[in-house]
Structure formats: C-alpha cells, structure tokens
Amino acid sequence: MADLIGALSAMEGRPPSVVHQDLTLTGLDVQYIRTMPRTPSGTIPVQDGVLAVTSARDLLMAAACDTVAEEHRLVQPRRKPQRAKDFVDSARFGPSAPGSYVFTVQVPLPEPSSAGSLFEDVPELDVAPEPFARQVSRRMYEAVTAAHTAAERATVADDSAPFSEAVEQGISADLCEALAGIGGQDSRNPQTGPGNRQGHGFSLAFAWSPRWPVPYESSLTEFSQRLVSVLREGAQDLRRQEPDRGVTIVGRPTKLKRVANFGPGEVTVEGRLMKENGDLVGQQRQIHLHLTEEDYDRATDAHRSRRDLKIEGDLTRRGNYHELTNLTDFDVL
C-alpha cells in the first residue's frame, strides 16, 4: 500500500499524505484551497484566515444558488433558496494539508442506490441520477475555471466585459467576491485594512468522489495576486450591471426607430422613476426600450400627441444610458 501511495503521489505531483487522505474520503468531493500569504509556511494572518473561511462558504453558496436557479444571474438574490442553504449546512471543513496554508472543503455525497434499475442489464445506461451535491461541485468547478479565464482575458483587454460574457458558465458577482476573498481582498468592504487591499495568490484543486462518475480530471487552478484584484473589480462591475427589477418609469418618448414601417422597434424615453405612492424621483435619464409592433405604434402616437408613457420592467445601466427590459406593463398617460 505504501508503494501504491508513493507511485500515485509521484504521478499526481501531490504529497503522499494528501493522496492517502483522498483514498480515505471516497464518499466526499473535496476542494483544496491553498492560500499563499506573506507569512511563514503553514500560517496565515488571522484577518485573512477569517476572510478565507467565510469566502469558502460563500463560494459554496454561490455555486449552490446557481445550480438551483432557473436562470443565470449577475448577482445572486439576497434571499437564498432553502435547498442551497441546506447544502452549505451539509458541507464541512476538513483537516489542513501541507502547504502555505491549505483549507479543505468536504462535500458529502449519498451512497448510490442499491435498488434495481430498468437498465441494469445495459451498463452504459445503468446510471443513477446525479446527486445535488455533485451537481454543485461540478458547477463550482466550471464557474471557477470560467472566472479564471475571464480574469486573464480582462487583464489583457483591460475591460471587465469577459465576466458578464461568462455568466452562463456560472460566474456571478457573488462567486467573484468569494474568490477574491479567498485571495485576501474583501470586495464588499474594500476599506478593511491594507493587507486585504493588497491580497495574495491562491490555488483551488478538486478531488472527486469515485461513488459517481468523475466529471473532470483533477486539475489545479491558480490565481495570482493580480488576478485576485481583477476578480474584485469584475465583481463590482457585475453588481453595477445588475438590473433594478420591477421598476416603473414615467417619461416622454424622444426617439423612435425601426427598420420598416411595421414590426418591432426601439424607443428612447426621457423619464424618471415612479415610487409606489406615485411620486417621481431622481433625475431625468435616457432610457432605451425594445417594443413590440403594437407598443411601438402606441409610443409613436404618444410622441405625436406629446403624451407620457408609463412602463414597468427591469432597469439596467449600459454605459451612459439605461435600458428597460422584461417589460411587464406599458401604458400611455
């Protein structure tokens, strides 16, 4: 057994003790979070350690929320789904491993069902449904990999667009904040001391339980100190792009444009926000709308008669203008 562990250690480039630990944790998906603070090996500043632990929890929550959600979101809702909270409650921190300072996060997987299957005579079809815990582990792996790629692209382009372009892969402001927190930068409180503002590099490795088909080869994703800063900036930009949902706008159409004399078109409204009591608040702002043919014709009539529109939808900032999408109400006043 010692020779076997030694051979696996040499092949995978990991310490024998870590390989042995994996062999004893067959019912768990395990994430190894190796932080690299500027302290003696095996230690971490207390504040950075607290932030790394809470950020590891937030990373689990971000992946669980994205797994539960029916749609990918730039920012996860404040009210977390109960299934996501139950999953995070089931996860646990394991013993530290040799290295600069290594946290291990253990995700328990259920035992495969021993009940018979309709396809038990056809091995390639005899696969039980993937448990939710494995779905979250897999989503986290995909999102962390996508965040690393987005951070590298954003560094080269000096633009945070790669983060919003990868939202479909599980990236969210919450996930990027969690990764930045593991690297010692608190995106939600950038004033938390000079050490946290500077940050440090870290790496994240995944080990998969053999109870279920292994979705990916175990690999190491490394985030340099520079990429940690880019993650923080990406999270802040994603939060700025998150739409205000269920907003009501009242204003007058100023520009109308469509390709032909019929069909849908684009309208620009100069308007203000309406509160629940009917008061208009805030400054006048240019708001772009994409309307159906019927609503576009109504907006055209309102433009000719100098009447206001009342529209409800999700308001998003796009550079120097705003866009209202997912319209739920459209009236001419």
Q: Tens of pLDDT along 123-136?
A: 444 456 889 999 99
What is the helix (H) or strand (E) element at residue 222, kind and residue range? Answer: strand 220-223
Please check whether residues 155 and 293 belong to one and the same domain: no
Quote the pLDDT of residue 125. 45
How far is 67 from 84, CA to CA, in rounded Å? 8
List C-alpha distances in Å: 43 to 99, 182, 196, 254.
9, 14, 16, 61
Over pLDDT 70: what percentage of the chain?
90
Which residue has tokens 């930009």?
237
Q: What is the pLDDT of residues 277-323, one digit of tens each?
A: 778 887 888 899 999 999 999 999 999 999 999 999 988 877 677 88
**Dist CA 320 CA 260 (whole Å):** 27
Residue-number span of the structural domain to which 296 is assigned: 244-332
pLDDT at 71: 83
pTM for this model (two decimals): 0.73
Task: Note whether 112 and 236 are same-domain residues.
Answer: yes
Instruction: Examine the domain organization and report whether 213 and 314 are in the same domain.
Output: no
Q: Which of 251-279 are b and which e, b meaning 16 or more Cβ less than 10 Å from the residue's Cβ?
A: bbbeebeeeeeeeebebbbebbbbeeeee
Pairwise CA distance, residues 308 & 251, whole Å: 5
Q: Indicate if 249 and 192 belong to the same structural domain.
A: no
**Claim to verify: residue 216 and residue 256 sit in the same structural domain:** no
> What is the rounded average pLDDT for all residues in the chain?
86
pLDDT in tens, 82-124: 999 999 999 999 888 777 899 999 999 987 765 544 444 554 4
Residue 305 to residue 251: CA distance in whole angstroms: 13
Final residue belonging to a domain, choices 202, 225, 241: 241
Q: How many CB atoms lie within 10 A of CB 87?
A: 22
For residues 149 and 65, membership in a common domain is answered with yes
Number of domains making up the chain: 2
- Residue finishing a domain among 216, 241, 266: 241
Q: CB-based burial of residue 3 (10 Å sphere; 0-12 exposed, 13-18 middle, 19+ buried)?
A: exposed
| Domain match, 199 and 292 both | no
Given 214, 241, 268, the domain boundary residue is 241
- List, as one string, the DSSP characters of 258-321: -SSSSS-EEEEEEEEEE-TTS-EEEEEEEEEEEE-HHHHHHHHHHHHTT--EEEEEEEEEETTE
